[in-house]
Amino acid sequence: MRDTTHELECWLRAGGKRVGQLSIAPAGNGWELRHTDDTARGDLAFFSKWEDARSLANFDDAGAFRPLKTAPSLRHGWRLVLRDAHSVRLALDYFYPAMLGVWLAHGCGEVVPVELHDTLGRQTGMYRITQKLTYEQAQRLIAKQCRSNSGCLKKILWRISASVSVPLLPPEKFRADAVPADTMPLLCHEACNFLVAAARKMVKDETPPAP
Amino acid sequence: MFTKPDSALVIAGHGSTLNPDSSAPTWKLAEEIRSRGIFGEVHCAFWKEEPSFRQVLHCVDRENVYVVPNFISEGYFTKTVIPRELGLTGNATRIGRHTVKYCEPVGSHARMTELLLKRAADIASGVPPEKTSLFIVAHGTDLNENSAAAAKREVDRITALGRYREVLSAYMEEAPLIAEWDRLSTSANVVVVPFFISDGLHSYEDIPVLLGIATESPGAASANRAAVFANNPYRLRGRTLYYASSIGTETGFAEVILDQVMAFVSSHPA
């Protein structure tokens, strides 16, 4: 059986210290988490429970809800001190849901990327219309929604289809290993519901009304 | 109390891209059940938030996984979306290194009736039920969602108890419309309980506007919107109206989740 907490602790003790916009550093017998922009600040609000991560992750600096936790909009101004790796694991479930598990599974070869064509192809109900998304639309959509500096920090492991890539984003956006050695990559093995919802809007907005 | 230290629990919720209120009850349930140490691990998964149904199994260490949908209705999401997204082919499905056991949704549990009655009694404390009309409000638009059927079932169960003068189902977007609550009911006291898992736009804003106790205030913070529950009772249209929050925030939901796992274990012996 995999032991996620043990794997996380090994990574931390081997010098791992960055996940997305989170900086993690040893603090006594435990660990301290803060925003990577705040590593030199001394005026941070103090938190000490892993459950605090939910409210810290839920809202950006302006107080807006962050439905996509891998958006580059993590709130500043706090530090979270946790007593052990298990607490860090639970906090990461709020800061970057699923990202620790997907990273470990990817390392074991268990993650199978799913092409966007297949993700849209299985949609039903209000999202069935996304099957009309053209490759050109898909490239524009992904270039806008998934861009690391304004959309999502994840590395994209999937393609639009077997023969269609996304040329409008830099090559490192598609490489799981294109991160520093002390950084846990955030990995996207399949288009998320946010992208599917955006695809629906694009198809509806750009489809001419029936005569 | 049963324990499943060699198993994982995944609570599957809807979630929202608009506010954190939709997923909050599911996260709180996970924290509550995790604190009891019944399962080796407890996770959440969502349709509209992360971890998604497509991601969640990568987060689970243990081989044996119970999935309980935190949904009111047995319908589109529990019959189509969740099985499809998880890759289920039956009650128990082998997926990679996991065996996923798919339990009944919370909304089909017999205890929903008790939780609805508790919500109604709490919000209208001291008000005699025999002089009160009780509304169970559901969405009721999408037939696949089956929420109207769930509300009608609860109305039948509560009516059979004979406590309230009348028990009615009403919907946001199909007849009988909750907007016509004063015409549909006959009692001086009216209690309205939304049959939803979570407090969100529907219970904070849409239903209050339809009832006539709030005006539209798009984008208002959750804390402000929650004030609609603190201002009870409302006196309007010649009646006294009590408006409750969604039942998914009832603490008894943790027991319902555990019951659904136990029901699976009982009906699918190893």
What is the average pLDDT across B224-242?
Answer: 88
Cβ-Cβ contacts under 8 Å for A196 (sequence gap 6 or more): A119, A120, A123, A127, A130
Strand ranges across the sheet with B189-194: B166-171, B132-138, B189-194, B239-243, B234-236
CA distance B57 to chain A (A): 8
* Cα gap A74→A62, rounded to integer Å: 11
For each of the domains in chain B, give its residue range(s) and CATH number, in order of start.
Answer: 4-107+250-267 (3.40.50.1400), 109-248 (3.40.50.1400)
Rounded to two decimals, what is the model's pTM? 0.90
Residue B218 has what pLDDT? 55
* Residues comprising chain A, all counted: 211
pLDDT 10s digits, B166-184 = 999 999 888 899 999 999 9
Higher-pLDDT residue of A23, B138: A23
- Cα–Cα distance, B209 to B225 (Å, whole number): 12
B158 CB-near residues (< 8 Å, 6+ apart):
B113, B116, B117, B134, B136, B164, B167
Residue of A nearest to B19 (CA): A65
Q: What is the pLDDT of residue A173?
A: 93
Q: Going residue by residue through chain A (211 aa), what tens digit of pLDDT does each one get? A: 999 999 999 999 999 999 999 999 999 999 999 999 999 999 999 999 999 999 999 999 999 999 999 999 999 999 999 999 999 999 999 999 999 999 999 999 999 999 999 999 998 888 899 999 999 999 999 999 999 999 999 999 999 988 877 778 899 999 999 899 999 999 999 999 999 999 999 999 998 777 7
pLDDT in tens, B180-219: 999 999 999 999 999 988 877 788 888 999 999 988 765 5
| Whole-number pLDDT of residue B145 | 55
With cut-offs at 50, 70 and 90, classify the pLDDT of residue B98. very high
Q: Please, what sign has the CA dihedral across residues B77, B79, B81, B83? A: positive
Alpha-carbon gap, residue B85 to B260, rounded angstroms:
21
Interchain CB contact of A4 with B (< 8 Å): yes
Residues of B with CB under 8 A from a CB of A: 15-20, 27, 31, 43, 47-52, 54-56, 58-63, 76, 80-81, 84, 96-97, 144, 221
From chain B, the residues in CB contact with A190 under 8 A are 54
Residue B140: the pLDDT is 74
The pLDDT score that the predictor gives to residue B262 is: 96
Of B43, B58, B84, the CB nearest to A122: B84
Contacts of B59 in chain A (CB under 8 A): 4, 93, 98, 100-102
**What domains can be seen in chain A, in order of their start residue?**
4-107 (3.30.1360.190), 116-206 (3.30.70)
Pairing of strands B98-102, B92-95: antiparallel
Taking the CA of residue A109 and the nearest CA in chain B, the distance in Å comes to 11
pLDDT band of residue B234 (cuts 50, 70, 90) is very high
Report pLDDT for B13: 94
Which residue spans within B155-243 are E strands per DSSP? 166-171, 189-194, 234-236, 239-243
| Beta bridge partner(s), residue B169 | B136
Taking the CA of residue A172 and the nearest CA in chain B, the distance in Å comes to 22
Is the CB of residue A54 less than 8 Å away from at least one CB of chain B?
A: yes
**Alpha-carbon torsion (B26, A97, A154, A110), positive or negative:** negative
Tokens of A182: 């002390």
Measure the CA–CA gap between A100 and A105, rounded to whole angstroms: 9
pLDDT at B224 exceeding the cut of 90: no
Inspect the interface and report whether the beta carbons of A1 and B62 lie closer than 8 Å.
Answer: yes
Chain A CA closest to residue B76: A125
Q: Which of the 8 DSSP states describes residue B123?
A: H
* Exposed e or buried b per residue across B251-262, where buried means at least 16 C-beta atoms within 10 angstroms of its C-beta: eebbebbbbbbe
Distance (Å) from the alpha carbon of A40 to chain B's nearest alpha carbon: 30
